[in-house]
Every structure is written in structure tokens, then in C-alpha cells.
Amino acid sequence: MTASTAPLEMLAGADRVRRYAPWVLLVVGVAVLQVSYHGEPFPRAWDTVISDPINAFQAWARSNRRTHPLFTSFFTPLSRSIDWALTSVEGFLQWLPWYVVPGATFLLIARTRRWWPAAVAALASVYPGIVGLWDETMQTLALMAIAVFICLVIGIPLGVAAAFSRRLESVMRPVLDAMQTVPAPIYFIPMILFLGIGRVPATIATVIYALPPIIRLTALGIRQVDRQAVEASTVFGSSRAQTLFKVQIPLAMPSIMTGINQTIMMALGIVVLATLLGAGGLGQEVMDALQQRSPGRGTAAGLAIVAVAMVLDRIGASFADTDRTHHVSWRATAIGAAAVVGALFLGSALGWSEFPPVSDVSILAPIDRAVIWARDNLSFITRPFNDFMVAEILVPARDLLTEVIAWPVLIFATAWVCWRMRGWKLAAVAAALLTVVGLIGMWELSIVTLTHVVAAVVLSVLIAVPVGIWAGRKPRVEAALAPILDALQTVPSFVYLIPVVMLFTLSAVPGIIASVLYAVVPGIRLTALGVRQVPAEALEASRAFGATDRQTLFGVRLPLAAPTIMAGVNQVIMMVLAMVIIAGLAGSQGLGFEAVRAVTRTNTGLGFEVAIAVVTMAIILDRLTQAAGERLQPPSA
């Protein structure tokens, strides 16, 4: 007996060691580091290690742009051809009689017998003209068209290739992950380095930003094609190309169309930011409005972007609807097309391409007045909220993290959490990246930004989870919320800033509120989705045992929805991070402000340093929330 229980006891002892050792390590490590490093700032040993060579390269690039083969044989021709394409498309759009736009919009959508959406989209497509932004809209459309076209030409073949080659997929996945983790404006910095400022770098930055969804969804669509359909094609002796073009691509079409749609939406989402690179168009209008603190003008331009988004989204959706059985007949479509083309030639012959001047249809003044009224009359709410956030939360949090807790403790604790959640690889990567961030002199700025990010994420989650649960349980609530969420998501993030900046004083708070408005949407959506997707049988089983609503919610619904809710939290964090830099435009200190400074002063070295800091934060937060989501997943077979 003793012989057999002794190893068991030893095993239990070993088990206990295994269970408590990490905690002992944490406590001892924190204590030692805190005592030995207390009060010491992060040594900026590499202050210029990154920025100097980059700035030197930039200076070199500037003086060699006309002579060096890197530019004369690659960047300059690339730049010229994109510029030519932009000019041609823009010229064509300006030449088009304006009414062709609503006509074609209506026709494309009505083809699928969705008359109302077609009519609404056609009306929406006229809106920019009514507020006097027709030319700006056409500029933006031209840039979008070229950018999206390039995305498709690159993205669809890459997606197909990734679906077939496991190796290519394993190489591409981390790249795509990184592309989506990196906040958009970070792309701008290398653009400036190689292409300077202008429409072309703006187009390329848009392409890079909008490329991942089309690649991912093409690959996903191809991979999801019913295996038996592919086998059937193979067994009848189809060549690979026959199977691809006759079976796989047609069956992946809905997914590919969704990818195109998302790519368009992402391209549109960055249109405002792209003005930092000189994209012009509607984005410039929003940016000017922000600088002049004119909510009316900003709203008018913002709505124009929403209108473009809505029209493109509807048209995209009409193409995604590949079930032709309920479409209008070919003949009717052809007649409609002929009518639009006829009108086109008639109009251009008569010189009707200008949008007719609309007098005094102005929504600008009333919006300006409303925001000013709100600023003056709501200050009894906004002022204390602002002061509370700054004085009681953000400043103490920053002081705690920079002055009270020694920096090595933060790195060690982060690495420890990464190790426990994901393993030593992430811990090593996190520790290394954080050290680099400190060494290049971004530590304090990063801490400031981190406090803003955490505040925005906490607020977003506090709103998103209860609202999401409510919406997930009550379809009617969800239906009522849907248009609001849609609108929040299509409005370019900048537009939120304008009224918020006006309502609050210049501090970190407007940036945080704008981030919350922007990021709360996926949180609500995914929470609602998670709650709704809980199998009905599990809920019935719970009820059959006599559980109360509350018991069912906390015992069955939420645990089963938890992985999806966690995915929502992950998205919230990513979107808040994407807003960090935009918030810099509203006067938030920290990395965002530095990023704006880097772009406006073309201090590319500084831009790279900010990029490293933001990407570090993004990688760590992204991987940790993903790991948390995986842990919440019930074990599968």
C-alpha cells in the first residue's frame, strides 16, 4: 500500500509546485525589480538609433528622387501610371452628366428587384451635389475606384493562391494579421518616405489598408466550397483550371463579393485620413471642417461620405446576390441600361454635366447653431465629466504607471501575463518589443496613450456588453439598433471628432469619447451575435430544469456566448487603437499627437518610432484578448 501511495503523494507535491511556482515567480520578480529600479526613468539608450538613419534616408531620397534608379525605374513610373489612371477616371466622372450617377445606381440595384433600396440609393447619390460637394465626391470616388481596382487585381489571385497553398497561407496569415493590427496612419509613414505627399501615395496607402479583406474572403470562399462538389468536378476529369473557374470561383462568389464590399468600405474609411497624404476630395473637406471647428461643414461632408458608402454598399450587395432566379429579366435590364446610356449621350451633347447649382439648401448653419447651443447649455454635464476623467482617472493612472511602478516591473508583469495566457514565445516577443519602445524614448508617451486606450476600452465594453445582451435576447431591440449601428460604422471616424471636440475642452476626453462611439459597434454586434447563437436546445434544457431567466443567462447563455463576446472585446481594442492617432488630431497627448506631428512635419524617423510603439501595444493586446477568447471556448473533440 505505502509503496503505491508514495509516488502519488510525490505527484501531488510536484503538482502543487507546478501550480504555485508561477505566482511565487511573479511576486518575487515584481518585488525585486520594484525595489531596485524605483524612481528611475527608462534609459533612452537608443534615442536616435532608429530615427537618425531613417531621416538620413529621407534626406537622401529627397535629393536623389530624380536620379537614382530606385526612383527613376520603379517609384516614378509607378507613380506616373497611377496618377494617369486617377486623372482619367476623375476626368471621366466629371464629364459624366450628373444624373447618370443616380440612374446607373438605381439600375444596378433594381436589377435584383430591390426597388426601395434602389430608389433610396439613387437619392443618396444625389445628396453630395445638393450640399455643393459634387466635385469633391467625384475626386474621392476616382481615388476609391483606382484603389479598389488595384486591390482586386492583387487580392483575388493572392486569395486563390492562398486557398491552394498551405505554405503561402502560413506566410501570408501573419502579414495580413499585422496589416490589420497596425493602425492605418502608420502605413502613411513609409509612403511619404518613398513617394512624398500627393494623390498617389494616398492611393497606395489606401490599397495597403483595404487589401486584407479581399484576400482573406477570397481564400475563405474558395476553401469553404463544398468538398464533394470539388471532388465531383475532379472525378469527372476536370483539369485544375476547369475546377477553379467552373466550380470553385462561382461557388466562392458570395464570399468574394463580401470581400469586395469590405474592401470598398475600408477604402472609404481611410479616405479622410488619406488627406494627411494629400488625397483631396471629401476627406479634405472634413479635415478643413475639423480645423475650423465647423460641425455643420463637417457633418455635410461626413454625410456625403456616408452617402457614397451607402450607395457602394448597396451596389456591392446587389452583385453579391448571385441567385438570379428572382432578378428582373435580361431584357428589362438591357432596356434600362440603354436608357441611361442614351441619356448620357444626349446630356453630354447638350453640355449638362455640371451639377445644377442648388441655392440655399443648407444644413450647415442649423447644425453649427445646435452644436454651439449644446456646448453652451450642456456644460454642466460635459465640464464635470471632462474634469473627472482627467483629474481622477487619466492623470493618476499615468502617474501610477510612470512614477510609482518602476518600468522593469511593467515589462516583467506584462511578460508574465503573456506567458500564462499564451506561452513563452509571446512573453519573449512582448518583453523585447516593450524594451525597444522604452529604449527609443517612447515609454512615457506610450503610457499616456495606454491610459487613454484602457479608458476607452473599459467605457466601450461597459456599454457594449449590456446593450449587446439586450439586443441578442430581444430581436426587436436588435432590429431597432441595426440602422444606428450601421450609421455609426459607416461614418468615417473623423466625423465624430468634430462635435465632440466642440462640446469638450481640448483634452484627451474628446478623443476617448470619439473612440468609444467608433469602437462600441463591433462590441455590441458580437455580443448580440454570441448571445443569439447559443443553441436553443441548451436554453430549453436549462428552462426544463426550472432555471430562472437570470440563472439561464448567467449559467448557460453568457458562458456559451463568452468566446464571441471576447472576440468583440478584441475588436473594440483594435478599433480604439486605430482611433488613437486620429484622436491626436483632437489634441490628445501621447502617441497620436506625435504621429500627427510626424506626418505634418514629414519627420519620418519620429513616425517610425511612434509606429513601433503603437504596433507593440496592438500586438500584445490583440494576442492577449485572442488567448482569453480561446480559453473561454468549451473544449471540443
Partner 1 sequence: MSEVCIEVADCWKVFGGRDVDKAIAMAEAGAGRAEILERTGATVAVRNVSFTVNRGETFVVMGLSGSGKSTLVRCVSRLTDPTRGRILLDGEDLTAMDEATLRRVRRQKLSMVFQHFGLFPHRRVIDNVAYGLEVQGVPKAERRERAEEILAVVGLEGWGNHFPQQLSGGMQQRVGLARALAVDPEVLFFDEPFSALDPLIRREMQDELIGLQHRLQRTIVFITHDFAEAIKLGDRIAIMKDGSFDQIGTPAELIADPATDYVREFTKDVPKQKVVTAGTVATGPKSETANGRKVAATDTIEKILPALLDDPSPIDVVDDEGRVIGCVDREAVIQMLAT
CA-nearest of 197, 218, 196 to 65 is 196
Binding to partner 1 by residue 170, rule CB under 8 A?
Answer: no
For partner 1 (CB under 8 A), the number of binding residues is 20
Query: With contact defined as beta carbons under 8 Å apart, do 224 and 247 qualify?
Result: no
Among 87-95, 249-257, 409-417, 543-551, which window interacts with partner 1 (CB under 8 A)? 249-257
The DSSP-derived string for 261-327 is HHHHHHHHHTTTGGGGGT--HHHHHHHHHHHTT-HHHHHHHHHHHHHHHHHHHHHHHHHH---GGGS
Site map 542..571 versus partner 1, x via CB under 8 A: ------------------------------
Q: Of the candidates 117, 98, 112, which has an alpha carbon nearest to the alpha carbon of residue 332? A: 112
Which listed residue (39, 116, 236, 476) binds partner 1 by CB under 8 A?
236
CA pair distance 283, 3, nearest whole angstrom: 78
The span of 237-245, 348-356, 501-509, 628-636 binding partner 1 (CB under 8 A) equals: 237-245
| φ/ψ of residue 280, rounded to 5 | 70, -160
Judged by beta carbon, residue 72 or residue 239, the one nearer partner 1 is 239
According to the binding rule CB under 8 A, does residue 73 interact with partner 1?
no
As to burial, measured by CB atoms within 10 angstroms (0-12 exposed, 13-18 middle, 19+ buried), residue 200 is: buried
* Closest approach of partner 1 to the CB of residue 221, in Å: 12
For the chain, what is the radius of gyration of the CA atoms? 27
Residue range at the interface with partner 1 (CB under 8 A); choices 14-22, 239-247, 552-560, 606-614:
239-247
Return the residue of 73, 239, 291, 633 that touches partner 1, per CB under 8 A: 239
Among 34, 242, 414, 602, binds partner 1 (CB under 8 A): 242
Q: Which of residues 316-345 bind partner 1 (CB under 8 A)?
A: 322, 325
Comparing CB distances to partner 1, the nearer of 236 and 380 is 236
- Per CB under 8 A, the list member of 234, 362, 602, 626 interacting with partner 1 is 234
CA separation for the pair 542, 534 (Å, rounded): 12
Q: How far is the CB of 606 from partner 1 (least distance, A)?
A: 48
Q: Which three cell numbers stand for residue 289?
A: 471642417
Q: What is the DSSP letter of 324?
A: G
**Binding flag, residue 253, partner 1 (CB under 8 A):** yes
Closest by CA position to 124, among listed 272, 298, 305, 331: 305
User: CB of 250: closest distance to partner 1 in angstroms?
Assistant: 4
Q: Is 233 in the site for partner 1 (CB under 8 A)?
A: yes
461614418: which residue's cell? Answer: 491
Considering beta carbons, is residue 68 or 327 the nearer one to partner 1?
A: 327
Q: How far is the CB of 258 from partner 1 (least distance, A)?
A: 16
Cα(280)–Cα(206) distance, integer angstroms: 13
Q: Is 462 helix (H, G, I), strand (E, B) or coil?
A: helix
The answer to the question of residue 250 lying near partner 1 (CB under 8 A) is: yes
Shortest distance (Å) from residue 637 CB to partner 1 = 12
Burial call 29-48: b when 16+ CB within 10 Å, e when fewer: bbeebeeeeeeeebeeeeee
Residue 227 or residue 476: which is nearer to partner 1 going by CB?
227
DSSP state of 275: G
What's the one-letter identity of residue 455?
A
CB 220 → partner 1: shortest distance, Å? 17
Contact characters 344-373, partner 1, x per CB under 8 A: ------------------------------
We find the least distance from the C-beta atom of residue 314 to partner 1, in angstroms, to be 23
Residue 616 · residue 181 · CB < 8 Å: no
Q: Is 224 in the site for partner 1 (CB under 8 A)?
A: no
Q: Which one, 116 or 236, has the nearer CB to partner 1?
A: 236
In the complex, the smallest distance separating the C-beta of residue 100 from partner 1, rounded to whole angstroms, is: 32
Closest CA to 562 of 472, 475, 481, 459: 472
Residue with cell 494616398: 202
What's the closest the beta carbon of residue 260 comes to partner 1, in angstroms? 18
Helical axes 604-632 vs 166-181, angle rounded to 10°: 110
Alpha carbons 588 and 394: distance in angstroms, whole number: 12
Q: Shortest gap between Cβ of 247 and partner 1 (angstroms)?
A: 6
CB 363 within 8 A of CB 299: yes
In the bound state with partner 1, the residue whose beta carbon lies nearer, of 65 and 327, is: 327
Least distance in Å: CB of 174 to partner 1?
Answer: 23
Binding partner 1 by CB under 8 A: which of 9, 40, 231, 354?
231
Q: How far is the CB of 226 from partner 1 (least distance, A)?
A: 7
Cell of 588: 490628445
- Based on the shown chain and the rule CB under 8 A, indicate whether residue 226 belongs to the binding site for partner 1: yes
Where do we find the cell 461626413? Answer: 302
Q: How far is CA 88 from CA 142, 154, 189, 203, 354, in A?
A: 9, 21, 27, 14, 17
Applying CB under 8 A, the span of 26-34, 39-47, 227-235, 373-381 interacting with partner 1 comes to 227-235
Cβ of residue 227: shortest distance to partner 1, in angstroms?
8
CB nearer to partner 1: give 231 or 392: 231
CB of 216 to partner 1, least distance (A): 22
Binder among 229, 358, 404, 480 for partner 1 (CB under 8 A): 229
**Contact call for residues 609 and 444 (beta carbons, < 8 A):** no
Whole-number minimum distance, CB 223 to partner 1, in Å? Answer: 16
Output b/e per residue, 567-576; b: 16+ Cβ within 10 A.
bbbbbbbbbb
How many Cβ atoms are within 10 Å of 190's Cβ, its own excluded?
18
Nearer to partner 1, 38 or 246 (CB): 246
One residue of 12, 31, 171, 232 binding partner 1 per CB under 8 A: 232
Type of residue numbered 77: P
The reply on whether position 228 binds partner 1 by CB under 8 A is yes
Residue among 1, 235, 350, 365 that touches partner 1 (CB under 8 A): 235
Among 107, 146, 247, 461, binds partner 1 (CB under 8 A): 247
Should residue 7 be labelled a site residue for partner 1 when binding is judged by CB under 8 A? Answer: no
379 touches partner 1 by CB under 8 A: no
- Among 437, 139, 114, smallest CA distance to 301 is for 139
The rounded distance, in Å, linking the Cα atoms of 391 and 188 is 34
26, 120, 251, 463: which one binds partner 1 (CB under 8 A): 251
What whole-number distance in Å separates Cα of residue 36 and Cα of residue 548? 54
Residues that bind partner 1 (CB under 8 A): 226, 228-229, 231-239, 242, 246-247, 250-251, 253, 322, 325
